[in-house]
Amino acid sequence: MIHVDGRTLINFASNDYLGLSFHPAVCMGATGALAESVGSGASRLVSGDDPMLHRLEQKLAAWKGYEACLIVGSGMLANLGLLQALADRHCHCFSDKLNHASLVDGVRLSGAKAHRYTHLDTAQLEQQLQKHAADRRIIVSDGVFSMDGDCADVAELLSLAETYDTLLLIDDAHGTGTVGETGKGLSDMAGVAGHARLIEVGTFGKAFGSYGAFILATHELIEGLKQRQRTMIYSTALPVALIAAAETALAIIEKGNEVKQLQRNLHYFKAATADLAFMPSDTPIQPMMIGSDEKALSMAKSLADHGFFVPAIRPPTVPEGTARLRFTITAAHTEEQIDALIECLRDVL
């Protein structure tokens, strides 16, 4: 549920895909740590480097199948700092045109030479790689794209990275905890997790129900980031309560019940809306293209008037003329809520 302008609405817009932000065990984990302290008090390189951070980093690396992990303050901080640490004016970055703003800004602020390829067009990407040779190159892409709900072909991108001697950076913020039978995300589904050329970014702010982010890569690269990533070095460390919440959430995700429930709900929703004009997506992000800003806003208002929160997504978040309703399905939704939403949506349409 969400409270908007004095009304309580059923939330079909949240990125809390597994409902863990209000899970009793996750809340209890945070509350227990909160009883000891609120803030961490300093950056990780001064005195804010709590042992719980290292324990969770080890657990995340083992779960996702990578050598090492580095926890930072947020997904935005992760991508900005990561790209500035890896790239400079001598580097070439090749980015999907629909990448998240944190990746776009990270490339810009790094000073690297930027090349953008049409969304998911790996043939065009290969042409760019052939054209722009350099000693250092990075392919940069979202895993699950947050406004379209479609996915990068991680295996194909990694194949190009190997062929053309580049690194591959995948931000799988929306895939972690939601994609694949165990919720390990796209790199696990593709069988490439832990590859030496692959750097993966994940977040605690979505399926984990907490806050913060993490970077997964080789030991060598993570150790280098500890010395060069300014958004980690010069930021106050995450409060221990959030780390405790994320660690508890990881244990719940590993058990698999919430992941399976999410996938059941998603299958139920897609089957019941197969005749409606939803964009192709097998992820919890289920967008419906509307087109005009005015129509999207009007439909969002109608849904809210009937008790459902589904915001209209408009430019500049998405390109002009592609305003949409962005539905998200979570493990916390009931079939009755999904049925009621679909009935209302059909009336609005």
pLDDT exceeds cutoff 80 at 336? yes
Q: Residue 233 — left, alpha, or beta (φ > 0 → left; ψ -120 to 50 → alpha)?
A: alpha
Rounded to whole angstroms, the Cα distance separating 225 from 10 reads 41
At 187 the pLDDT is 97
Q: In the predicted model, what is the mean pLDDT of residues 139-154?
A: 97
Catalytic residue list contains 206 = yes
Tens of pLDDT, residues 301-326: 999 999 999 999 999 988 899 999 99
Residue intervals in the chain for CATH 3.90.1150.10:
2-17+284-348
**Percentage, residues of the chain above pLDDT 90:** 94
Q: Which of 146, 187, 210, 281 is catalytic?
A: 146
2-17+284-348 CATH, one of 3.40.225.10, 3.90.1150.10, 3.65.10.10, 3.30.70.360: 3.90.1150.10
At 123 the pLDDT is 98
* Residues 265 and 19 sit within 8 Å (Cβ to Cβ): no
At 338 the pLDDT is 98
At 7 the pLDDT is 86
Alpha helical stretches, state H, 164-256: 186-190, 219-228, 230-233, 240-255
pLDDT exceeds cutoff 80 at 4? no
Lowest-pLDDT range of 2-16, 89-103, 132-146, 166-180: 2-16
Q: Which of 174, 184, 195, 333 is catalytic?
A: 174
Residue intervals in the chain for CATH 3.40.640.10:
23-254
Catalytic residue list contains 301 = no
CA dihedral sign, ordered 277, 280, 283, 289 = negative
Q: In the predicted model, what is the mean pLDDT of residues 54-69?
A: 98
Cα dihedral 121, 127, 130, 135 in deg (nearest 10): -40
- Find, among 235, 248, 246, 170, the residue nearest to 204 by Cα: 246
Tokens of 70: 């580095």
Task: Give the number of other Cβ atoms within 10 Å of residue 347's Cβ.
Answer: 10
Tokens of 138: 């990075």
At 160 the pLDDT is 98
Rounded to whole angstroms, the Cα distance separating 325 from 316 reads 15
pLDDT bracket for residue 256 (50, 70, 90)? very high
* Residues 144 and 328 sit within 8 Å (Cβ to Cβ): no
CA 121, chain centre distance (Å): 21
Rounded to whole angstroms, the Cα distance separating 330 from 245 reads 19
Alpha helical stretches, state H, 65-168: 75-86, 101-110, 122-131, 154-163
CATH topology of domain 23-254: Aspartate Aminotransferase; domain 2 (3.40.640)
Q: Which residue has the tokens 């919430």?
A: 258
Q: Which of 92, 195, 206, 333 is catalytic?
A: 206
What are the start-end ranges of the E strands in the chain?
A: 2-4, 7-11, 68-72, 92-96, 113-117, 137-142, 167-171, 198-203, 213-217, 285-291, 308-309, 312-313, 323-328
**What's the length of the chain?**
349
Rounded to whole angstroms, the Cα distance separating 301 from 297 reads 6
- Find, among 113, 65, 106, 55, the residue nearest to 84 by Cα: 106
Let me know the angle formed at the C-alpha of 290 by 293 and 313, rounded to the nearest 5 degrees.
55
pLDDT bracket for residue 6 (50, 70, 90)? confident
pLDDT exceeds cutoff 90 at 133? yes
Catalytic residue list contains 146 = yes
Q: In the predicted model, what is the mean pLDDT of residues 257-286?
A: 96
- Find, among 280, 273, 326, 272, the residue nearest to 299 by Cα: 326
At 5 the pLDDT is 79
Question: What average pLDDT does the chain have?
Answer: 96
- Find, among 196, 197, 201, the residue nearest to 186 by Cα: 201
